[in-house]
Structure 1
Amino acid sequence: MNSDFNPFRYSENSPDVGSEVVGLTVWRGRDRQPVHHLPKPVDMIIPRDKQRNTSSGVYKHTGWIKSWDDITVVPFRPQRARTALIIILNITSTSHPDLDMPHMQLVWQKASPPTADSFKAADWTTVLPVPQAQLYTLQLPHTYNNTNLTSHPYSWLLPSEALNVSKLDIQDNMTFYLGIRYAGEDTSTPVDTTFTVSILETACVYFGENSSHLWEGDGCKVGPLSNTTHLHCRCDHLTKFAGFVPPNPINFDVALSANITENQMGLIAVLSVFGLFLLGYLMARRADRIDLKKVGVSTPSGHKLSSNPDYHYIVTVYTGFRLDAGTTAQVSLSVFGLKNKSEPFTLRDDRRLLFGGGSVDSFLVSSEEPLGPLTHIHIWHDNTGPSPGWFLSKVVIQHIRSGRVDYFICNKWLALDEDDGRIDRMVFVASPEEMADRSNLISERATKDFHDGHLFYSLVGRPARSPFTRAQRLACCMSTVYSAMLANIMFFGQGDKFDPPEPIRIMGVEIEPPISLPEIIIAIKSAVIVFPINALIVLLYRNAAPKPSSKPARKLADTNDVQDTGKGRGCLPWWTATVAGLLAFAVSFVAAFFTVLYTLSFGRDKAEAWFTAFLASFVTDMILIQPVKVLVAAVVLGLLIRKPTKEDEPSPTEPTGDEEYLQIVAEQSWLRPACKTCPLILEQKDACWDGQMLFSGLE
């Protein structure tokens, strides 16, 4: 395996790895065979990272010698301990025609510059060029033309023990010196030689997959074939190999100087997302306005409330989330108790949009006589309109005085062309066992998660009662998409060249894991980039209190005795929604900016490959993976938490922004047990402001 990137960046010391990674593995059938303590080292030639090239990884110095006793001193400060040095001398010019390859003596010395005496008594010295017979040659008999690699004659390899660099030397910025002079004492011949010396600090390391998960150097040494473009490693075992070079900071010069007209993929990607956001925002605002006509509690048209509050009930009808689940027919309901039954209620309100797909519609009704404990309901429709078929999820009835809540679970069609073809149902009150039934709990939780919990799916199915609007959800979606684009492009291509994880044997059965540990770490890093900041934005939006209106709500009844406990309101100040919006746009801008920089540094071909891969993975995730995740979460939580899910029922609020409506504050008086006289405001047809009325949901 040869990888042009470091697939183990999750390792603590991976930032120091600056070469490609080579992996060698011996397999016997399906079993990996460990290889250690080879009598003859394995030679590996590893390309250095081109993007982290010579600016910091190679130290260069240009010098000249004009006489036989001249000494050129090159200072050098190593960046880390336990590394080797490759010193390459390049003769650029010489004045003597017989000295095309002049003999040069090199001395390596610590702390003090070398003198003439140092060249006679130095511990680490050499004379270049190396004789032809002594050059290191690596034969490659299996290549096309039997290539042989030969070391550079003016190359000097200083092993790590020669440097003797400690961590204290690194901390103290200890300076080492390289001395260069002519080898010999022919002072009669005038000379003038110019040269360039290159010093490469490097080491050969392997990755301890089964031990420390760090890059280690045991059993590996730098070879004499190392140069500015390749690293030569000689190791006595097989694993993942790479080379250390000094860390190189991110260089934006290439990206910022690139011609964006030649590589427009990143800009097209981020602008396309923003264009879709603008278009979606207009649609979301329109849908939010329509939702204002769906929420609240009202008395059915033509129904006269009893003056006795003991006979008052709130009936909440839940239409299911199915294709064409809503109905255009007229729905009616009768309630049965142990003592009496109610008259049929025609659930109609000309001021609201009722019984649409996934809608929750509440009505305030009353009976003429006490019903006692409720036993069952009879619900039906008249099969009128262009789409009369109706999927009823459940009906919840709350007795105002006692607060008792009864559930009537249906989950059936009332349609001539669905199920058994019936358009009326007799539904009995749900028992505790039926309420805790796993199938009901899982179904309710999955429905709520799809249409309220999931950001992208809830853009279509958002409950009208939820204070988290579609426009706010869309802003969160935009931030999430940009963050996902940045995380994806940061790790693009890193999971393509891993060795497959070793099979796991359990009781003789061999199981191949579908994902390796490095890939899991990459996924975790991506999640760390995407999840926390976007979760914070959603948290701020969901818990922000409504903004106070500059126009007070017009009251149609005396509300001196109305008590507003604030239940259901956001627990954070109203301005946190503004903070969330600003934060969403800030995250989107930063992620989009760096995504464009990445694509410019990638080049056109790689940028197009990234965008294709990202688009395919995103679509696959939305269509296949996310629904499975929601269903699995619903199943797990449904099995662990044996309680029905709760719907959002915000308390009455004042009009906000451009969502002005007539707030019927007097409705709250019906919910107060101390109420003795229930006003019949809802019977007044002229109680309408600008032809539109909105009723706030009641707890």
Structure 2
Amino acid sequence: CVYWSETQEDWRTDGCAISEQSTIASTICHCNHLTVFGRDFVTPPNTLYFLALEFSGLRDNGAIVATIIVALCLYSFTAVVIKFAERVRKKKLNHAVKLDDLQNGYRYRLIIWTGAARHAGTESTVTFKLFGDAANSDVRVVDTEEKVFTQDSQVTLIFSTAEQLGNVEQLQLMHDNSGEGSRASWHVERAAVEDLATGKLSYFFCGEWLAADRGDGQVVKTFPVASEQDLRSMGFLFPASLRSNLEEEHLFLSVAIMPEDSTFTRSQRLGCCLSLLLLSMVSSAMW
């Protein structure tokens, strides 16, 4: 027997007791106060005896046995595939490249996210230039032996300038189109610049191809800094929130599209998926 507590806005049991005259069809309550009354019930779980399992009875539960075998086989196969995917992920995860000896007075960090579209990465030589309200940087060349601007990658470039740029207003990105075939083009998703002296961050929404055979055919593009209004706009918040929720909150999808900087690995997520499946099967058997 329960009653509705208007102060706590919840069903409570204090002051109420079940009468001995209650039956399966009806419940009689004795309460020492007047309020809205009701009844509640709990379905007891079935008792499972795992130690009493007999192989002779597996024929009667063929669907359950087949489901478990298929789940374990899929888990083993996917775990092997994920192991190779993790190795690839570690190679392209957050490449940090120093472009000079950082002996100049003002240091900056430029982070560039390459898109996840097919052939979004490039093997062309990339250069960039920053424009500030106080000064402009020189044209900097990202000249590395390893091709770091791969598909769906995050690259951090650390460099210094002789003059402080002030508030960064524009970012110019370009490449020499020297990559072979589809590796010449480059899709830039977004970028960010951090002044390491002040800690100020400037964001750039790119979302464009730098390619001679795609879009407008330009390999040199200049992107303006995102304003506060841009960062609060629905066009930015909704896709960012949707992607973050799918990558972090959806357990099954996150195995494939987890964020690159997450410490919760794909193997761990896959193990949680298997545990959730098996626990759901046990719960179904109990109730």
Aligned partners of 2:96 and 2:158 also within 8 Å: yes
Question: Is residue 2:66 matched to residue 1:268?
Answer: yes
SS at match of 2:91: coil
AA paired with 2:100?
Answer: K
Over residues 74-125 of structure 1, what are the superposed CA-to-partner deviations in whole Å (9 max), with x where a residue is unaligned? xxxxxxxxxxxxxxxxxxxxxxxxxxxxxxxxxxxxxxxxxxxxxxxxxxxx
| 2:242 counterpart (423, 446, 460) | 446
Task: Compute the displacement of 1:395 (Å).
Answer: 0.9
Question: Is residue 2:115 matched to residue 1:320?
Answer: yes
1:561 paired residue number: none
Question: Partners in 2 of 1:328 and 1:261 — Cα distance?
Answer: 58
Q: 1:348 to 1:452 in 2, by over 3 A?
A: farther
Question: Partners in 1 of 2:201 and 2:58 — Cα distance?
Answer: 63
Q: 1:251 to 1:360 in 2, by over 3 A?
A: closer
Q: 1:251 to 1:167 in 2, by over 3 A?
A: farther
| 1:403-482 aligned within 5 A | 403-482=199-278
Task: Compute the displacement of 1:413 (Å).
Answer: 2.4
Question: Partners in 2 of 1:248 and 1:341 — Cα distance?
Answer: 71
2:138 paired residue number: 343
Question: Partners in 2 of 1:411 and 1:248 — Cα distance?
Answer: 53
Task: Compute the displacement of 1:314 (Å).
Answer: 0.7
- Uncovered stretches (5+) of structure 2, i.e. residues with no partner: 3-18, 28-36
Aligned partners of 1:407 and 1:430 also within 8 Å: yes
SS at match of 2:203: strand
AA paired with 1:343?
Answer: D
Task: Compute the displacement of 1:405 (Å).
Answer: 1.0
Question: Is residue 2:226 matched to residue 1:373?
Answer: no
Question: Partners in 2 of 1:248 and 1:430 — Cα distance?
Answer: 56
CA RMSD of aligned residues (A): 3.5
Over residues 207-253 of structure 1, what are the superposed CA-to-partner deviations in whole Å (9 max), with x where a residue is unaligned? xxxx95769xxxxxxxxxxxxxxxxxxxxxxxxxxxxxxx9964769
Over residues 176-231 of structure 1, what are the superposed CA-to-partner deviations in whole Å (9 max), with x where a residue is unaligned? xxxxxxxxxxxxxxxxxxxxxxxxxx96569xxxx95769xxxxxxxxxxxxxxxx
Q: 1:350 to 1:445 in 2, by over 3 A?
A: farther
Question: Partners in 2 of 1:453 and 1:251 — Cα distance?
Answer: 32
Question: Partners in 1 of 2:69 and 2:241 — Cα distance?
Answer: 36
Question: Partners in 2 of 1:297 and 1:203 — Cα distance?
Answer: 68
Question: Partners in 1 of 2:167 and 2:113 — Cα distance?
Answer: 22
| 1:73-472 aligned within 5 A | 167=20, 212=38, 250=47, 256=54, 259-261=57-59, 263-296=61-94, 298-300=96-98, 303-308=99-104, 310-351=105-146, 354-383=148-177, 384-387=179-182, 388-472=184-268
Question: Partners in 1 of 2:161 and 2:45 — Cα distance?
Answer: 79
Q: 1:389 to 1:296 in 2, by over 3 A?
A: closer
Over residues 416-455 of structure 1, what are the superposed CA-to-partner deviations in whole Å (9 max), with x where a residue is unaligned? 4443333322101111111111111111222223334432
Question: Partners in 1 of 2:135 and 2:25 — Cα distance?
Answer: 89
Task: Compute the displacement of 1:477 (Å).
Answer: 1.7
Aligned partners of 2:125 and 2:175 also within 8 Å: yes
Aligned partners of 1:414 and 1:423 also within 8 Å: yes
Q: 1:327 to 1:299 in 2, by over 3 A?
A: closer
2:31 paired residue number: none
SS at match of 1:421: coil
Q: 1:306 to 1:276 in 2, by over 3 A?
A: same
Question: Partners in 1 of 2:247 and 2:219 — Cα distance?
Answer: 26
AA paired with 1:286?
Answer: F
Q: 1:457 to 1:391 in 2, by over 3 A?
A: farther
Question: Partners in 2 of 1:431 and 1:345 — Cα distance?
Answer: 25
Over residues 321-364 of structure 1, what are the superposed CA-to-partner deviations in whole Å (9 max), with x where a residue is unaligned? 3344333333221111223322222234335x623333211111
Over residues 233-284 of structure 1, what are the superposed CA-to-partner deviations in whole Å (9 max), with x where a residue is unaligned? xxxxxxxxxxxxxx99647699758531454221121121122222222222
Aligned partners of 1:328 and 1:386 also within 8 Å: no
SS at match of 2:86: helix
Question: Partners in 2 of 1:343 and 1:294 — Cα distance?
Answer: 27
Q: 1:321 to 1:445 in 2, by over 3 A?
A: farther
Task: Compute the displacement of 1:315 (Å).
Answer: 0.6
Q: 1:448 to 1:323 in 2, by over 3 A?
A: farther
- Please, what TM-score do these two structures have when normalized by structure 2? 0.74
AA paired with 1:321?
Answer: A
AA paired with 1:329?
Answer: S
AA paired with 2:115?
Answer: G
Q: 1:321 to 1:391 in 2, by over 3 A?
A: same
Identity of aligned residues (%): 24
| 1:649-660 aligned within 5 A | none
Question: Partners in 2 of 1:452 and 1:399 — Cα distance?
Answer: 29
Aligned partners of 1:338 and 1:375 also within 8 Å: yes
Task: Compute the displacement of 1:470 (Å).
Answer: 1.5
Aligned partners of 1:336 and 1:375 also within 8 Å: yes
Q: 1:248 to 1:408 in 2, by over 3 A?
A: closer
| 1:441-590 aligned within 5 A | 441-487=237-283, 490=284
Question: Partners in 2 of 1:445 and 1:248 — Cα distance?
Answer: 39
Shifted more, 260-269 versus 404-413: the winner is 260-269
Task: Compute the displacement of 1:469 (Å).
Answer: 1.4
Q: 1:396 to 1:203 in 2, by over 3 A?
A: closer
Which of structures 1 and 2 has the larger relative contact order (alpha carbons within 8 angstroms, sep 6+)?
2
SS at match of 1:289: helix
2:11 paired residue number: none
AA paired with 2:82?
Answer: A
AA paired with 2:241?
Answer: R
Question: Partners in 2 of 1:248 and 1:316 — Cα distance?
Answer: 54
SS at match of 2:274: helix
- Please, what TM-score do these two structures have when normalized by structure 1? 0.33
